[in-house]
Structure 1
């Protein structure tokens, strides 16, 4: 949880700063509208490189182990974030500034692509069978914790360095703090033992030489469905984690024009709500199953999406906070059980590749360009209604994908059960009787 929180603190910090700061100090010469769009594009650009990180991490994670990969991703992410904190602006070094910023964002994307899969498997493969949901929620909690931490630090700095001071130097402090977080995360991860499932795979000398090839050859449909499941969560979630709401609500040229610190406080509170609901979803899924929890979660998420912009558009910070908190309930219940779901649907030999690549593809389909799409819809229509329709459609597609999956709660995860794990978890493909899978 701590390691993942540090990784996503770095990742979300960039997204929030893109909408509030980078659009001016790095992309300002493009003009207000184009600068904002390009800033959000730079957020989404990193998602294109997440599959590279997922492929590399999946390949070496299935062959070398989960722990080593997690150490590397932590250093890559933290190092890139720290360098952003000292990067000169366009006014200082010209076009080289946005180019270097984008390069560092790409490094963040590669790191994020490899981070989640390793963290998930370390949690779920260590967990008792009947507690995979709640323990698998630990790395999931790290994501809203990263948002809470990044929004909280930015909110503090907006008061420490108000107004122009925040634009000049205040925004850099949260990025520089990442260096200290790297040390903390490295110390924690260094003390974690390797996944018992991977140790068993290594002992049996059953490592797959080309796990990615095997993954798409045998589980291509599953990868697509699970990617769509995550895309539905990601598109809605990236309204805040991608910085769109922060920019929309604080833009002085817009119709809302709320104070920056108050909006960041609202996002921080919603992140806390998201964290709690994520934990609850993992716990609930241990009792009613991953699939049923997802169904409930997407229904609540759709309701939250429909309420979000009408509440934000009241120009009341209280209503904005209510809208974000309501949405975060659905986000939590379509996210907390994801670790256990993914781990239980892929065979042990290709599990790291499966969860990492699927997560990365889902991030591209959902969160990658959601802020950019939302901004483009806003500029072209002049209202937020089109954004609501877009997010609802993504959620409905994700719900449909969930309905096509079988629940495999309690399936053995070790390599000795590889034959059972390879049976199709997709409804309509295969005629497997999963009622014989128990929690024993």
Structure 2
């Protein structure tokens, strides 16, 4: 088999690449799967900021419980590259469709079981151990989800609209977060604090099972990607995609991973850390701050299609460089806006950060698949996406909590600016991929 270049090339017969799934079906299937997966993932993120510490860890200081909860939150990010390698292997070997179904099942089962897990008062140290195992399972499932959904969208996209179609899985996090936070918001309003901490927080985890069934139904109706089928026909598959990725395509993996860092830092500092800080330090009530986040994430959802459309029109690089530059400047706004404690200024801060997250996130659904050839595209895109998560998000709330304890909110803002600068440099070093054929 000939050496696979990091520059994807078109097959000799374009007719073989005619889409077999309707545009509507592709958009719905790529969107609904990521929305469900990220709903599951963010349910834990919200719970980590509110109840995971006191429920699953020894009753020592509240700061120690918060740090333990954030460390447990970070476990999933360490698992995600493993999920990328595992599901990427099968996605590149046997197909996108069946792999996406399997990733959804792993995430759904892990999330639902967390909803039934006894706390520290009931089973002692076994509680945090089992929680970590299930959180690891969530990471495995999500590690295989995003890359497959992005490929499902981009490999079925019409010419010139790859970023627009790649935007649909990118909307999944916005909707998933809105559903998760909206549900917690409703529970916090309708239940007493004691009811919420005792059993109310478990409801979103258990409801995940229903959403997963819906997602499975939609995905089982899909046909396999025509680009993948053409690769199979031409015998372009490789035995060990993960080995090929790191031996032949390490540069795009590194570039793609670092390009993703700003997205993760913006999101998890703005949501998980800010929620915890707002409730504990600024004395917002849970419903108040959750309501502000629900408002702000709408702007993230609006920014995603705007930047995807712009990247189809002007290219991936200029849009992402602009987003990273604005994110760099936004870090300096954290202290004066979030630190003010003013509802209006805190809302403004969250809107700015989540808008920029959506703006930098929108083109990624097309960019990461575009920098890898078909034979290793699932693995490459997934690995890059999730290594970016380890760097930009896995311990971001933990580090932010440590920084705010030692140096104040300004230091957390500098952390966001540093993440943005890293992504800006990575994007600058990349080639433009808007017109590359898959």
TM norm. shorter chain > 0.5: yes
Helix, strand or coil at the partner of 1:167: helix
Deviation at 1:232, TM superposition (A): 2.0
1:394 aligns with 2:424: no
Of residues 326, 344, 360, the one that matches 2:352 is 326
What residue is the counterpart of 2:428 in the other structure? 403
Deviation at 1:213, TM superposition (A): 1.5
Which segment is superposed worse, 109-118 or 21-30?
A: 21-30
Deviation at 1:33, TM superposition (A): 1.4
What residue is the counterpart of 2:373 in the other structure? 347
The whole-number CA distance in structure 1 between the counterparts of 2:129 and 2:411 is 32
Deviation at 1:392, TM superposition (A): 0.4
User: Residues 359-389 of structure 1: CA distance to partner in whole angstroms, max 9, x if unpaired?
Assistant: 11111011111000001111222x1111111
What residue is the counterpart of 2:254 in the other structure? 224
Of residues 325, 344, 348, the one that matches 1:299 is 325
Tell me if the contact between 2:77 and 2:394 (Cα under 8 Å) persists in the aligned partners. yes
Tell me if the contact between 1:231 and 1:365 (Cα under 8 Å) persists in the aligned partners. yes
The whole-number CA distance in structure 2 between the counterparts of 1:240 and 1:145 is 16
Which segment is superposed worse, 206-215 or 387-396?
A: 206-215
Tell me if the contact between 2:332 and 2:413 (Cα under 8 Å) persists in the aligned partners. yes
Alpha carbon RMSD of aligned pairs, Å? 1.1
Give runs of aligned pairs for residues 238-249 of structure 1, distance below 5 A.
Answer: 238-241=268-271, 243-249=272-278
The whole-number CA distance in structure 2 between the counterparts of 1:53 and 1:84 is 19
Tell me if the contact between 1:236 and 1:305 (Cα under 8 Å) persists in the aligned partners. no
User: Residues 323-357 of structure 1: CA distance to partner in whole angstroms, max 9, x if unpaired?
Assistant: 11111221111110001111111111111111011
1:84 aligns with 2:114: yes
Tell me if the contact between 1:40 and 1:372 (Cα under 8 Å) persists in the aligned partners. yes
What residue is the counterpart of 2:222 in the other structure? 192
Deviation at 1:306, TM superposition (A): 2.2
What residue is the counterpart of 2:391 in the other structure? 365
The whole-number CA distance in structure 2 between the counterparts of 1:337 and 1:391 is 20
Tell me if the contact between 2:266 and 2:354 (Cα under 8 Å) persists in the aligned partners. no
Q: Which runs of 4+ in 1 moved over 6 A?
A: none
Residue correspondences, number: 408
Tell me if the contact between 2:327 and 2:416 (Cα under 8 Å) persists in the aligned partners. no
Structure 1: unaligned runs, 5 residues or longer: 414-440
1:235 aligns with 2:265: yes
The whole-number CA distance in structure 2 between the counterparts of 1:330 and 1:303 is 11
The whole-number CA distance in structure 2 between the counterparts of 1:125 and 1:162 is 48
The whole-number CA distance in structure 2 between the counterparts of 1:3 and 1:29 is 37
What residue is the counterpart of 1:9 in the other structure? 39
What residue is the counterpart of 1:176 in the other structure? 206
The whole-number CA distance in structure 2 between the counterparts of 1:30 and 1:216 is 44
Tell me if the contact between 1:26 and 1:90 (Cα under 8 Å) persists in the aligned partners. yes
1:280 aligns with 2:310: no
What residue is the counterpart of 2:361 in the other structure? 335
Deviation at 1:28, TM superposition (A): 4.1
Structure 2: unaligned runs, 5 residues or longer: 1-30
Tell me if the contact between 2:40 and 2:108 (Cα under 8 Å) persists in the aligned partners. yes
User: Residues 129-150 of structure 1: CA distance to partner in whole angstroms, max 9, x if unpaired?
Assistant: 2100111010011011111111
What residue is the counterpart of 2:338 in the other structure? 312
Deviation at 1:101, TM superposition (A): 0.8
User: Residues 12-70 of structure 1: CA distance to partner in whole angstroms, max 9, x if unpaired?
Assistant: 11011011101111124242111111110011111111111000111110001111111
The whole-number CA distance in structure 2 between the counterparts of 1:271 and 1:342 is 23
- TM-score, length of structure 1 as denominator length: 0.91
- TM-score, length of structure 2 as denominator length: 0.91
